[in-house]
Amino acid sequence: MKSLKPLLFSLFTCAFAGVALAGPTVTDLGDGGIRTFDGPVEKYILFNPPTGISHAGGVMNWYYNDANRPAAVTKSATLAQIQASQAKWSAVCKITFVYKGETATGFSLPTSSIDGVNVIGWDPTGLTAPTSGLTQVAWDGSNHIVDSEIRLNAAYSATYSPSSNFDATLTHEVGHSIGLDHSDVSNQVMSGPPHTAYDGRSSLGSDDIAGCVHLYGAPGGGGGPAPDTQAPSVPTALSATATSTTQVNLSWHASTDNVAVTTYKVYQGGSFLGSVSGTSAAVNGLNAATTYSFTVAACDAAGNCSAQSSSASATTQSPPPPPTCSGSQPPNDQQVLSCPAGEAGSVTQSRSYSCVGTTWTPGAWQTTGNTCTTVPTQSYQDMWWAGANENGWGLTITQHGDKLFLAMYIYGAAGEPMWVVLPTGTWNAAHTTYTGDLYIPTGASYSAYDVSRYSAGASVGSASVSFDTSSTGTLSYVVRGVAGTKRISRLSFGAVDTTPITDYADMWWAGAAQNGWGLVLTQQYHAIFAAWYTYDATGQTTWFVMPNGSWTSSSTYTGALYRTRGTQVIGGVYDPNALAVTQAGTLTLTFTGTGSATMTYTVDGVTQTKPITRLAF
């Protein structure tokens, strides 16, 4: 603040007399002002009696303070209205307003600490309705205004209704700010107080113009407002800030114009991008990690534009670096899977890890090896034995597809014939070993069979047959706690005869009503070996065999039926020399189809006939 001659200050208000103001009081200028040129009629009044004052050089530099601005009006609208009101005065006399930008400086008037900053802003507490605005001016001994401040009522929405009075009020207050007191002439912007004297007046009146010209002279010597040919000032303080990989935000200080700045044009690399109305802009759609240079120019409503501002550059943000995983890539996983049912071999799969986000993540399993092969259908169906050294006992294997039904025809501790069956089992993965539970049922005597007395009983153990060739294998068993193994092989009993014949080999039974006993037919060429497993008079298992029958017709096969006794097979040392073979009678099979027959036997003088069919399993 420069050194001043003794300061005075004056206060102009548009309020009614008696409005209470905090701090400053309204100074009554009385009739001390100059009353102009047409004699006795009071017209414009200057507020510094008697000589009048003005802004030095006819220039008023001013600042805007946006603090306490009411929500009812935007900053841009406020600035636009201030500049529009100022423009009305500039249009009629040689007063020039230079907008110096926004300031945080508050009102210094009417205190004694006059700071020389001409502030136009909002007063949140010092004004109450109906006061709409208040202008305070200080001047020095050279009749130059050194501080001029306009307070607008921060209760804008309540006191500036209708809103058009914002225009009238600001134009009125600007008139005060350049040195005019209230006019004594009606229908002038400077009429009043009260504010109702100028409410709604958007154009300066003749007395308003006369007062302004008196202080500052006529504009360019012309009678009316000159056409607007003045470009706004060049925007300053342009800054550019990248806010993302695609956006840069721009901001700059407002330009001033003799009328008003209406738009700002934004350029990138000298190319026009678009216009905005405020002093900031967001530029989108840019490339990442790229430096761009921007400029802005200010334009008014008449199309006058400033030169482009100094450039400001910003580099858009770089895309985030690719995520990384800690540690080294884990080795591939591997797994071995079983083959589908009915196939032998295995499937080997592996999967590798890749970095997903920050985590090593396994990919999908990929098959790297497949040794699965369909197990060829190998028939094990036959009469099997443990060789000549164990002559006298054996086992039949009946095969349906993949399923085996094993029946062992052996001797108990007392040498009595007995049998053990393995009705269901499973193959190992290699399809070489068949394993299942063993049963020794009880039932009624064959001579008076009663199905109600049949009982499979609980499993007595288990057995498995491991085939090492198609005709040899190892029988392993545990029967009632006694374990053992026997090497077994097919028993050859049929002479070679390739004449076609129906294959009757199977497990036959007499139906559900006779469930519990059966007849296993093993066939080699035309020879049939029949093993009848049934029950004796005590209900225990017993069996008969017909090893050497013959065809007596194309459908009838008959022969001697034998019962045998021998040494204990399971849990004993078998002695083939102890085998005793006795003919029990005869057996005749009459086939009525490939799957049906009648079984007629005479055992111990008793003859019975049973219809039989193949047993499904």
User: Which chain residues interact with Zn ion by CB under 5 A?
Assistant: 14
DSSP 485-520: EEEEEEPP------S------EEEE--GGGTT-EEE
User: Is residue 99 a contact partner of residue 261, using CB atoms and an 8 Å limit?
Assistant: no
By three-state DSSP, how is residue 248 classified? strand
Least Å distance, CB 231 to Zn ion, is: 33
Instruction: Report how far apart, in Å, the C-alpha atoms of 267 and of each of 238, 241, 283, 298, 315 are.
Output: 12, 15, 10, 12, 16
Q: Between residues 131 and 542, which has the closer beta carbon with respect to Zn ion?
A: 131
CA angle 405, 577, 487 (to 5 degrees): 40
- Neighbour tally for 9: CB within 10 Å: 19
CA dist 384 and 463 (Å) reads 15
Number of alpha carbons in the 13 Å side-chain half-sphere of residue 491: 23
CB of 17 to Zn ion, least distance (A): 12
Block residue for tokens 């009614």: 16
Q: What's the min distance (Å) between Cβ of 285 and Zn ion?
A: 51
Which candidate, 441, 453, 409, places its Cα nearest to that of 543? 409
To the nearest whole angstrom, how small is the minimum distance from the Cβ of residue 277 to Zn ion? 31
User: For Zn ion, which is the closer residue by CB, 151 or 265?
Assistant: 151
Task: State how far the alpha carbon of 183 is from the alpha carbons of 179, 193, 343, 570, in Å.
Answer: 12, 9, 114, 140
SS3 399: strand
Residue (of 470, 529, 515, 537) closest to 610 by Cα position: 515
180 or 570, CB closer to Zn ion? 180
Between 106 and 194, CB nearer to Zn ion: 194
Return d(Cα 321, Cα 608) in angstroms, integer. 94
- 293 dihedral zone (left: phi>0; alpha: psi -120 to 50; beta): beta
Q: Which two tokens stand for residue 430?
A: 């290699």
**Cβ closer to Zn ion: 197 or 406?**
197
Least Å distance between CB 119 and Zn ion?
18
| First-last CA distance in the chain | 117
Least CB distance to Zn ion at residue 298 (A): 31
Burial of 569-589, coded b for 16+ CB within 10 Å and e otherwise, reads bbebebeeeebeeeebbbbbb
Per the CB < 8 A criterion, the answer to whether 519 and 532 are in contact is yes
For residue 195, the minimal CB distance to Zn ion (Å) is 8
Per DSSP, the three-state class of 246 is coil
Listed in sequence order, the DSSP H helices in 217-285 are none
Q: Which is nearer to Zn ion, 170 or 561 (CB)?
A: 170
Kindly state the smallest distance separating residue 190's Cβ from Zn ion, in Å. 7
Query: Whose Cβ is closer to Zn ion: residue 147's or residue 208's?
Result: 208
Task: Give 133 or 392: the residue with its C-beta nearer to Zn ion.
Answer: 133
SS3 80: helix
Q: How far is the CB of 52 from Zn ion (least distance, A)?
A: 17
Query: What is the SS3 assignment for 159?
Result: helix
Q: Using alpha carbons only, what angle is made at residue 232 by residues 227 and 234, rounded to the nearest 5 degrees?
A: 155
Between 89 and 543, CB nearer to Zn ion: 89
Using alpha carbons, select from 273, 243, 239 the residue that is nearest to residue 253.
239
Residue 127 beta carbon to Zn ion: minimum distance, rounded to whole angstroms: 13
Q: Are 375 and 343 in contact (CB under 8 A)?
A: yes
The pair phi, psi for residue 85, each rounded to 5°, is -65, -40
What minimum distance in Å lies between the beta carbon of 157 and Zn ion? 21
Measured from the CB atom, is 177 or 256 closer to Zn ion? Answer: 177
Q: Min. distance of Cβ 269 from Zn ion in angstroms?
A: 50
Q: Which is nearer to Zn ion, 14 or 168 (CB)?
A: 14
- Closest separation between CB of residue 198 and Zn ion, Å? 8
Quick check: 439 and 407 in contact, CB under 8 A? no
CA distances from 339 to 154, 336, 343, 366, 400 (A): 86, 10, 6, 15, 22
Q: Which is nearer to Zn ion, 90 or 132 (CB)?
A: 132
Q: Which is nearer to Zn ion, 108 or 136 (CB)?
A: 136
Which residue has its beta carbon closest to Zn ion?
Answer: 14
Of 14 and 215, CB closest to Zn ion: 14
CA-closest candidate to residue 106, choices 92, 91, 93, 122: 122
Looking at the Cβ atoms of 171 and 256, the one nearer to Zn ion is: 171
Least Å distance, CB 266 to Zn ion, is 40
Residue 318 beta carbon to Zn ion: minimum distance, rounded to whole angstroms = 58
